[in-house]
Structure 1
Amino acid sequence: MSATRRAAVLGSPIAHSLSPVLHRAAYRELGLGDWTYGRHEVDEAALPAFMERLDDTWAGLSLTMPLKRAVIPLLDEITPTAASVEAVNTVVLTGDGRRLGDNTDIPGMLAALRERGVRQVERASVLGAGATASSALAALARICTGEVTAYVRSDARAAEMRGWGERLGVAVRTAPWEDAAAAFEAPLTVATTPAGTTDALAAAVPARPGTLFDVLYEPWPTALAAAWADRGGAVVGGLDLLVHQAVLQVEQMTGRSPAPLAAMRRAGEAALLAR
């Protein structure tokens, strides 16, 4: 007998995803005993066939790389937030068969920052220029009153970041990665790079740093986050982002609000400790 309602995270690779841990914790807390949340290895080529197989038991999907852009042509509608960065990480399947796409990474970033008391900054820095960096710019467009400096490794990436800035309505200046230590002069630094990339910058953290938002959650803490905390700076981590964006996904997929943030965070922390 199939479950009443189903949801899952899709991506490739997907084995590392904490999304099942977070969503299942929410279901337990909300008393949704007939809900299940799975994990499926799906790449761009396999995505259309997977979407075609979805029946009316499905409530929603979480999407990670490389599917956040590939899914867009397969949807009936996407929100302005998702359209602003051309990335969908949440699909809600409605009772009338429509597929609605959203991006909860951007509001998730803002919620994680608010939790640490960051509601507005006059300047910010972004380390990196990938997909997460564009989401960071979209979030900063809502809270940064001045310039954002993006530290990147190539002219092509610099042009991309300036283009995203124009599109999102935020003033973006670019600087070479070799100057990345200067990023820490801003009251908010967002690190969006892969594991190990910022380790060499840990020694450059100033005596009185502002706030660091490091989007990684494994390994944690990163060398940069540890040095930042040692100097008394506020640190927002990747698990904070993951939990806050998952809270929004649970609310959209189940129709239940508020989702149990504390229980989801505890489950995520426990899962990371067990790895």
Structure 2
Amino acid sequence: MKAEPAAPAGDGQRPDSRRTSGPPGARPRPGGLWRGRHLAALVGCLALVVLLVLISLGVGARGIPLGTVGRVLLHDDGSPEAIIVRQLRMPRTALAVVVGAALALAGVVMQAITRNPLAEPGIVGVNAGASFAVVIAIAAFHVTGVSGYIWFAFAGAVLAALVVYTLTSGATRSHHHTRLVLAGAALSASLGACTGIITMFNTTAFDSYRFWVVGALENRGTEALTAAAPFVVAGTLIALALGPSLNALALGDETGAALGLRVTWVRAAGFLSIMLLCGAATAAAGPIGFVGLVV
């Protein structure tokens, strides 16, 4: 029989135990390091958002120092600066945060469903549907205010997304992604042509429509934020609930189905989340295109 090798000289510990902290035999846990970096990145992003919010409240036709912005936020002293920050710029900034979060979350869900890193909300015809509905509201119903646009824009965005989903619902798994892109592009082109025809022959509709179509946050007060917030909250809850399912879907439709995932239901719920988030954001701030490419 062969003799067992002698233990190495030294402190009597196993060689691998000297490379790890904790009790003997403990193995390194890379997941803890990843979670730590993830938490640090999240805290850094939140701090950046807070800084940008303060800058947004201070920037405008009348510049306000950040110290003054913080003071009037904590205490309303009735000064002109407090009126500007609290009544004029706060609704605009809050709407910007909500719209940005909604578009970002919708983009994540869209990229998870299509497995395309450049996928964006406009790919399902949301912008084109909202624009066409706004033109119809101006030309046929003589709606001129932003508060009236928001409901027509939301309805148009949701209907356009439903049409795209209907056109792609019968596709096989291997052709679903291609048909989604083609259906969205075809619907956007068709609705864009209809919008152009209406604005070409109706100068009143064109004059009102051109200020909405560029996408802006001016003159969007608390009414636009109040109207969009419930839909954004509902879409956010659906998207967060779909997180584990989207992770499984990222492995592929076949793998996800093998893991017990109901792919059709996950896609339908993801589309519902996208419709709510994109429809509300587009209705409140106007169409914002190529978000995925910018990111």
Structure 2-normalised TM-score? 0.23
Greater helix share, 1 or 2? 2
Instruction: Identify the structure with bigger relative contact order (alpha carbons < 8 Å, sequence gap 6+).
Output: 2
Structure 1-normalised TM-score? 0.24
Greater strand share, 1 or 2? 1
